């Protein structure tokens, strides 16, 4: 089922209007201050935008008429287009969102009995080129702005709310596990997370917002300085040799550095765990020897392991481990006292499963190279 939906967008395109959708509380207060308004207006506008889903300033009835006109003249609330949306047999819902520049990203909602998780993208494409990930194979175009990141939550909330005017929606958790590496788009991601956590916006608990990283070690320390939100690490291999191949970022930040950063992350809270994601690739990383190595690598880290059955995509040479292999691997970890779950594959009939998010990324190779140089990552 493909539905074309029209939503407000592009108003103000090509002008210098500031997009209020991308301002966290502090930035919003600073903006109101700069136009000679009281800072409490920031809270009101945040609530209108994020809790009531209002994008027409004239409907913001607790603002004076003059202020509404001022905001209309100076600012905009600009949202991406929903290019397509689609629901899988298991209720997983995927949106393809078209940004102002024509690039597309994907956002996925995964309903479960006791929660609703929104999987959010942080970049258009990805620079990291993990060998088993289809996003990596598409190249990289650019970082998303804070407005583009939070617009995924805004749109999903609106589309999932039964009563669109009320703040009752199905999203209880957000995971930054869509396209891109969130910690390589640090500032925009931090601002977007602030909006997710803000009681005047989405009011999500820090335990229910997860940043997933392939292991950008310095940014893990920086994230910890900002807030102790949930962290997932895409580990996927229990030794450097194999991880260098599966997650090339490992050449820059090898396992011992990554594990040191992980040990530090929840140093003040001994009830919380980092989720170690481990994609199960047939014959590659799924033997009992790998399980034993993994236990050694995770020794002393407050970790739980989430085994992810590999989702194949066109032209990949990898295959999913068999259910028996996955169960045996899980048992070795469980027997050693490691909390270990196996992720249910969701939404694969609509290509919404992990690693299958295929937006239309136009790889600007030169731009990609320059970007890699800027952040000093190995380009192979």
Q: Is 16 a catalytic residue?
A: no
Nearest to 23 by CA among 36, 10, 11, 33: 33
29, 85, 106, 181: the catalytic one is 106
Among 18, 20, 291, 308, binds ligand SAH (CB under 6 A): 308
How many C-beta neighbours within 10 Å does residue 11 have?
Answer: 14
From 39, 125, 41, select the one nearest 368 (Cα to Cα): 125
* Burial of 158 (C-beta count, 10 Å sphere; 0-12/13-18/19+): middle
Least separation in angstroms between CB 150 and ligand SAH: 17
* Sole binder of ligand SAH in the list 84, 154, 266, 310 (CB under 6 A): 310
Task: Convert 104-139 to b/e letters by CB count within 10 Å (16 or more is b).
Answer: bbbbbbbbeeeebbbbbbbbbbbbbbbbbbbbbbbb
Angle between helices 323-335 and 288-297 in degrees, nearest 10: 40
Least Å distance, CB 308 to ligand SAH, is 5
Residue placing its CB nearer to ligand SAH in the complex, 190 or 354: 354
CB-based closest residue to ligand SAH:
355
Residue 106 near ligand SAH by CB under 6 A: no
Number of residues interacting with ligand SAH: please give it, by CB under 6 A: 16
42, 190, 195, 354: which one binds ligand SAH (CB under 6 A):
354
Between CA 149 and CA 147 the distance in angstroms is 5
Using CA atoms, how far apart are residues 203 and 11, in angstroms rounded to an integer? 28
Q: Which of 234, 285, 321, 330 binds ligand SAH (CB under 6 A)?
A: 234
Tell me the window of 15-23, 221-229, 290-298, 304-312 that interacts with ligand SAH (CB under 6 A). 304-312
Catalytic residue status for 126: no
| Contact status: 192 vs ligand SAH (CB under 6 A) | no
Among the listed residues 132, 265, 329, 371, the single contact to ligand SAH using CB under 6 A? 132
End-to-end CA distance of the chain: 39
Residues binding ligand SAH (CB under 6 A): 132-133, 177, 181, 212-214, 234, 277, 279, 308, 310-311, 313, 354-355
């Amino acid at each position: 089922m493909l539905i074309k939906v029209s939503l407000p967008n592009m108003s103000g395109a090509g002008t210098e209007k500031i997009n209020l959708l991308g301002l966290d509380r502090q930035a919003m207060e600073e903006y109101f201050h700069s136009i000679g308004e009281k800072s409490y207006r920031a809270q009101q506008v945040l609530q209108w935008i994020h809790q009531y889903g209002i994008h027409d300033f004239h409907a913001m009835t607790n603002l004076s008429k003059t202020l509404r006109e001022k905001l209309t003249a100076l600012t905009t609330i600009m949202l991406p287009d929903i290019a397509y949306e689609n629901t899988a047999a298991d209720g997983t819902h995927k949106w393809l969102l078209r940004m102002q520049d024509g690039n597309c990203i994907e956002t996925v909602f995964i309903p479960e009995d006791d929660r609703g998780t929104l999987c959010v993208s942080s970049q258009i494409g990805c620079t990291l080129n993990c060998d088993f990930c289809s996003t990596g194979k598409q190249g990289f175009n650019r970082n998303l702005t804070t407005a583009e990141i939070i617009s995924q939550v805004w749109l999903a909330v609106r589309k999932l709310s039964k009563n669109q005017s009320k703040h009752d929606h199905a999203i209880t958790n957000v995971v930054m596990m869509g396209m891109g590496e969130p910690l390589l788009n640090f500032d925009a991601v931090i601002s977007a997370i602030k909006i997710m956590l803000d009681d005047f916006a989405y009011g999500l608990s820090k335990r229910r917002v997860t940043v997933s990283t392939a292991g950008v070690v310095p940014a893990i320390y920086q994230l910890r300085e900002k807030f102790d939100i949930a962290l997932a690490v895409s580990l996927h291999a229990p030794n450097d040799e194999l991880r260098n191949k599966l997650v090339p970022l490992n050449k820059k930040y090898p396992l011992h550095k990554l594990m040191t950063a992980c040990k530090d992350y929840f140093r003040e809270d001994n009830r919380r765990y980092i989720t170690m994601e481990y994609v199960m690739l047939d014959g590659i990383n799924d033997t009992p020897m790998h399980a034993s190595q993994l236990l050694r690598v995770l020794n002393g880290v407050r970790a739980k392991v989430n085994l992810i059955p590999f989702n194949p995509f066109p032209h990949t040479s990898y295959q999913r481990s068999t259910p028996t292999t996955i169960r045996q691997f899980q048992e070795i970890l469980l027997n050693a006292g490691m909390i270990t779950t196996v992720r249910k594959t969701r939404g694969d009939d609509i290509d919404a499963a992990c690693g299958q998010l295929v937006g239309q990324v136009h790889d600007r190779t030169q731009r990609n190279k320059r970007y890699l140089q800027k952040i000093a990552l190995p380009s192979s």
